[in-house]
Amino acid sequence: MSSPVDLLILGSGSTAFAAAIKAVDLGARVAMVERRTLGGTCANRGCLPSKNLIEAARIVHDAAHPRYAGLTPARVAVDFPALITQKDAVVHDYRAKKYASVADSLGDLEMVDGDASFEDPHTIVAAGRRIEADQVLVATGSQPWIPPIPGLSDVPYLTSDLLDADEAGRLSELPASLVVLGGGYIAVELAQLFARLGSQVTIVARSGLLSAYEPDLGRILGEVFAAEGIEVITDAAIERIEGDAREVRVYAQTPTTGRSVRAARVLVATGRVPATETLGLERAGVARDPDGFVVVNAELRTSQPHIWAAGDVIGRQHGSQMATPVGARQGRIVADNAFANAHRRFDGTVIPRAIFTDPPIGTVGLTEAEVRAKHHPAVATTTPLVYVPRAGAVHKTTGVVKFIASTLDERVLGVHVIGEGASEIIHEAAMALHFKATLADFVDLMHVYPTMAEALKIGAQAFSRDVSKLSCCAE
């Protein structure tokens, strides 16, 4: 480039684009460097392709397991290569409309393909070029963490990159059997996806399913998995992995016995780490924590005043979470702070999250364990969805809604749902927490009948009455 850019962004996902759009609006000249595929993890190998295939797997499962008497089970044949082809088409179309066309519409944005690394605090080397920038945003996202398990590097393992539409790590054939390492949200989504499409799936988890969430969520999901034929081995220490392209063998030790699991393929879903190791951040004087996450203040500024970081690369600092909308919010904050001197601070107090299993999970605010650790005086109530009329009407009563509320003023501190519609209705709870709503606010809000969102009203009512004795729409 003949002259320095105002903002150089490393990465091209939701964080990067939110920053670029706002920076251009504020009159900045922007360059964006991407070493993999335009659109980052979410569009290419994460949120979008996984939810596409999860819905396809749900159709297969529901056809074979109708919930209504009088409906005959039907087998839906799965053409896995064709299914992958349609998924790739969705990804390509989304990437073209939501990323490539947006980039083309920003006249002051230049895209650069290639690896990037700092030469000094103001200079990046990328694609054989030296690019100078007044401001820099590190938004390179995260990547799968590969644990140091003996033998793992010698077998052809899979990661969540198997969903990618274009890269070499993608999966094009349905494995007859699959062992999934991990018990987090990626592990459980992919495990159920492949089981419903026809793979025999075993989960091997170091602790339990969704151990960082409310315990009821992982417990209920485990019961669902058992009913669907997914074996879950918890509290497992993996000793070694052996095998080749035809079969892998995972050897693990549990508190009661040793286990050996054989499968056609192994999927590593043990967590994610920041994608920062090749950036040369030390040459820019940018500090990282012991896990490799870029250290930032609440305004998302790093140890170098003109270098910012946002999205997955900052981990859980200041209440952040690894989630696409979180990165997008932070990208805009960076642009406002860098070019409008806005001094905006990221607030991670209210971040709704969803896990797209069946039943789905929605959560916002604090868990009961977090409330106790903060020594907040609080009380919690867990209400089975069997008391929600809509759930009974459509034969989907598996699940609960859990409320955690302050005993000082009844302000709701956390809401956690597993059950039909949880990923949608959690937004009502998030809005309520944003405005510091109380239990009475949830009870007083009139809900459409019959909907799954009534679970929130009924869950709040459960603090003061026996909801098993409510009539329909009872106040």
10-residue stretch averages of pLDDT, the chain, 475 residues long? 82 96 97 93 92 98 97 97 96 94 92 94 92 97 96 95 85 95 98 98 97 97 98 97 95 95 97 95 96 97 98 96 96 98 96 98 97 96 97 97 97 98 98 98 96 97 94 77
Same domain? 139 vs 280 = yes
Same domain? 258 vs 214 = yes
H or E segment at 123?
A: strand 123-126
What pLDDT is recorded for position 240? 97
Instruction: Give yes or no for a contact between 259 and 233, defined as CB atoms under 8 angstroms apart.
Output: yes
Instruction: For residue 157, give the nearest of 179, 188, 185, 182 by alpha carbon.
Output: 179
Same domain? 262 vs 290 = no
Same domain? 313 vs 223 = no
- Which DSSP letter does residue 411 get? B
> pLDDT of 332-369, one tens digit each?
999 999 999 999 999 999 999 999 999 999 999 999 99
The dihedral built from the CA positions of residue 316, 421, 99 and 81, taken in this order, carries a sign that is positive
What pLDDT is recorded for position 3? 62
Boundary residue ending a domain (236, 270, 304) = 270
What pLDDT is recorded for position 117? 95
Same domain? 133 vs 278 = yes
Tokens encoding 331 = 């990208």
What's the domain range around 33? 5-143+273-340
Residue 51 in any domain: the answer is yes
What pLDDT is recorded for position 4? 87
What pLDDT is recorded for position 20? 97
CATH number of the domain that residue 411 is part of: 3.30.390.30
Instruction: Give yes or no for a contact between 43 and 99, defined as CB atoms under 8 angstroms apart.
Output: yes
Residue 346 in any domain: the answer is no
